[in-house]
Structure 1
Amino acid sequence: MSDHNSFDTVRIHGGYQPEEHQYASNVPIYLSAAFNMGSAQRGRAIAEGRESGYTYSRVANPTVAILERRIAQLEGAVAAVAVASGMAAISNAILTVAEGGGRIVAHHDIYGASLDEFISLAPKLGIEFDFVDDINDPQELRNAIGPDTKAVFVESVTNPLTKVTNVDQVAAIAHEAGVPLIVDNTFPTPYLFRPIEHGADIVVYSSTKAINGHGNVISGLVVDAGRFDWSSKRFPQFSEPEFTLYTEESGHARSFVEAYGNEAFHQRLRCKFLRLLGAVLGPQQAYLELLGLETISERLSKEVSSAQRIAEFLASHQYVDKVNYSGLPNSPQAELVKNLYPRGIGSILSFELSGSEDRVNRFIDATQVFSYIPNVGDVRSLIVNPARTTHREIPFEFWEKNGLSVNLIRLSIGLEDPDDLIADLEQAFNKAYQD
């Protein structure tokens, strides 16, 4: 297949050579813990990286590798590493870039579990986070980056407020300071937004969500643009001798920078963190992910269209105090959205219900088409109250900065008829406000 095919061709054919797999039309599921190396000489060559091949599925698996290659092609990246969950993707990326300690700049208004890790767990591992209130404020971001900063971490579209990050601007400021930009692009997926084209160095996904799209897989992805210079003294872990990279040909233990250059990041992540910490994606999950990718364009197109209609319906409703959907024409970020997201920002939105928390509970319980599920990006439409579920880990002092309240409801719009979804919301309003 040509390297210049469009997104819709790559999502179906990328990373797969049928002639290498008995000409199977579908990607085979390699349910094997280990692989015969053939000979002692070949086994050593594979182990030393002098020859490609498979030995053990914790290190690499053919089905998973096809998913990784397909995602890398869709992103315009040099490589991708598949892991067992979205949080594993975030954790592995953070540990790889800040190995041995350091600081990372991020914004407050992000997914609850991410913020929980950043404020309660990462510091115990020697990684401190410096939070900014507005990631799109150039001066605030510059002031937050210091000599110990190892990366800037952002969500392209935030969860659950759908604020859009100006990735081009943030990337330029990060690079000006000599640090990489990590972008969680879970909500848009590469169909709606490709962060690497806007300067991102690392992209992470909870591919459980819209990439898979069917609510039947827990999975994550770390995508490496392959452009950042990891030889900087700011990142000594990439330049230190690594015994696993010793070969008789070199005569010494090479560093990841010596062995892989600008691809040192994904190679070190795979060799040290995925291989040793073991958050491995299984071949069945990779196969289901590949199936989901085959329909991502059609799914996202309809879901975004429906989300737009539902956001407009909610914005004019008497029982709604506020709608958080940056794709609305009157959004403060309308111009930025127009420039960065010509296909829309995604299928997730949130809104604040008028009245007490009891109204919120009654509203959620009254919905019939929406499912009360703490997930997003499913073909089914989902509803949840973040402050009590997906974001409950966030300390109260962060609530205001994150736009959290007990009245906030998040919707993930699926593939049902949008008229049915609006009717379901309307009847839920009626029941919630019956006194």
Structure 2
Amino acid sequence: MTAQTATPRSLPRPTQPALLPPVAREARYGFTTQQVHAGADTGPVGHGDRVAPIHVSAGFRFEDPDTAAARFSGEADGFVYSRIANPTTAALERRLAALEGGADALVVGSGQAAITTALLGLLQSGDHLLASDHLYEGSRGLFSENFARFGIEVDFVEDHADPAAWRRLLRPTTRALFAESLSNPRNEVLDVAAVAGVAHAHGVPLVVDNTLATPYLLRPLEHGADVVVHSASKFLSGHGTALGGVVVVGRGFDWGAHDDGGAPRFPQLSEPSAVLGGRSWADLHGERCYAEHARHHVAARFGPVLSPFNAFLVQQGVETLSLRMAQHCRSAALLAAWLERHPAVERVDHASLASSPSHQRARRYLPRGSGAVLAVTLRGGAPAARRFIGALELFSHMTHLGDVRSLVVHPASTTHAHRTEAERERAGVHPGTVRLSVGIEDVEDLQADLRRALDAA
């Protein structure tokens, strides 16, 4: 048996530095202090390095056969193989868990990998996933096409602001609810507490994609969510240089719960496993069983590994997250208000605006700002959108968001091109809609760039 090819009967844990303050202690600090210091490696692995070093090693040496056996039996902490854990990625996991207020975190190779890992830790053939209809297109395609091939059924809730709409689509086989805290591209705010209440009344977890909000604007776990995922490639990294994803697991959900018929809702976590010598993940890890199962049985098996170099880049970005997000949000709100008044603009979707159906939820959930992504619909339709994008100079035309640079894309012909016209209309994607991701440039310069483009449109 080799570490490369076998899931160990053990669950070797990433080394936790002896002097690492627990998340509960770190919570006494402000967010910006935590984004710089939380989870810092002060123990023997890092040798006191002020900046987490890049550990570019596929595997890790054992001091002796007893140490190797102890790590594989779960009796000792330590690193085994970078597909499971690496000191650089572990440092990033500790920091992101602290920033989201979670009990544990797992970083993977992309945001799409984070969603896949999180949900495949919960779902199996015959199960049902209930998701918001207002999703990133990659997530929607993953659920409706790829998960369908695994025998997982999915329904999409059109009115995700209405808890009753979620309840109507629940099934006995529903095993998770999924939504975005801020939707892409319409900037709609999820009522996290209300949807979490629906999920918990049915005995299942709520998984929230918090990419567009980031933990600086919203921590869904504090409002009842059970699992949070991010595309770390976006605002967490912030510079458009690295792909990455993270799964953060909260506290308190009963992973060993049974349904009304007495069957376990998550047998993969609560029933004995031959891989674990007849024990279950819940027996071994209690409240942390889902996080351990996702790490060792999903991510390690499917292999969406985050490279240590990308983990380093993401961690560098995280250290300035609050500063960037404050500028992103301030500029986005100013531009949204100005664009809404422009005669060439038919509609602006941004929760900072009083005209937004999400405005009151934004006041409740997003006191620090409503995010940097907005949808702007031009009166001239697709031809106007084409001229508008062609005239921009500071906004880069690309399918990305969350960069320090401002970005623009035409969703109807790119990200949403494979949706039906009715589906695009429901998502707020019209022929004249452009998606803006507002960067950290001087807002006066961005306004001038947009003004020139609107004149051209």
- 2-structure distance, mates of 1:36, 1:393: 49
Equivalent residue for 2:266? Answer: 235
**AA matched with 1:5:** Y
The equivalent residue for 1:218 is 243
* Counterpart in the other structure of 1:354: 379
- Of 254-263 and 82-91, the range deviating more from structure 2: 254-263
Is it true that 1:408 corresponds to 2:433 in the alignment? yes
Contact 2:410–2:433 (CA<8 Å) still a contact in 1? Answer: yes
Deviation at 1:393? 3.6
How far did residue 19 of structure 1 move? 4.1
Counterpart in the other structure of 2:31: 7
Aligned-pair distance for 1:241?
Answer: 2.2
Number of residue equivalences = 426
For residue 271 of structure 1, what is the aligned residue in structure 2?
A: 296
- Superposed counterparts of 1:104-115, under 5 Å: 104-115=129-140
Task: Map 1:283-322; keep pairs closer than 5 Å.
Answer: 283-322=308-347
Task: Show structure 1 runs of 4+ deviating over 3 A.
Answer: none
Q: Does 1:126 align with 2:151?
A: yes
Structure 2 residue aligned with 1:42: 67
Instruction: Give the TM-score of the pair, scaled to structure 1.
Output: 0.96
Q: Please state how far the C-alpha of 1:37 moved relative to its aligned partner.
A: 1.2
What is the CA-CA distance between 1:401 and the residue it aligns to? 1.7
Q: Give the aligned CA root-mean-square deviation in angstroms.
A: 1.2
Partners of 1:290 and 1:78 in 2: CA distance: 19
Kindly indicate whether residue 414 of structure 2 is the aligned counterpart of residue 383 of structure 1: no
Contact 2:381–2:433 (Cα < 8 Å) also in 1? no
Structure 2 CA distance, aligned partners of 1:303 and 1:399? Answer: 27
Contact 2:41–2:49 (CA<8 Å) still a contact in 1? no
Point out the more displaced range, 303-312 or 388-397. Answer: 388-397
Between the aligned partners of 1:395 and 1:120, the Cα distance in structure 2 is: 15
Contact persistence 1:193–1:340 (CA under 8 A): yes
Gaps of 5+ in 1: 247-252
* Deviation by residue 1:282-309 (Cα, 9 ceiling, x = unmatched): 1000111110011001100011000001
| Cα offset, 1:142, TM superposition | 1.0
Contact 1:371/1:380 (<8 A) preserved: yes
Structure 1: how far apart are the matches of 2:286 and 2:161?
Answer: 31
Displacement of 1:390 in angstroms is 2.2
Shift of 1:373: 1.3
1:184 aligns with 2:214: no
CA deviation map 1:258-290 (0-9, x unaligned): 111121111111111111110010100011111
> Match of 2:298, SS?
helix
The 8 Å contact of residues 116 and 394 in structure 1, kept in 2 or not, is answered as no
Unpaired stretches in structure 2, ≥5 consecutive residues: 1-20, 258-263
Asked whether the 8 Å contact 2:416–2:424 carries over to 1, the reply is no
| Cα separation, 2, equivalents of 1:301 and 1:238 | 40
- What letter matches 2:203 in structure 1? G
Contact 1:112 1:393 survives alignment (8 Å)? no
Listed as ranges, the matches of 1:237-256 within 5 Å are: 237-246=268-277, 253-256=278-281
Query: Displacement, 1:17?
Result: 2.5
Counterpart for residue 366 of structure 2: 341
* Equivalent residues of 2:186, 2:350 under 8 A apart: yes
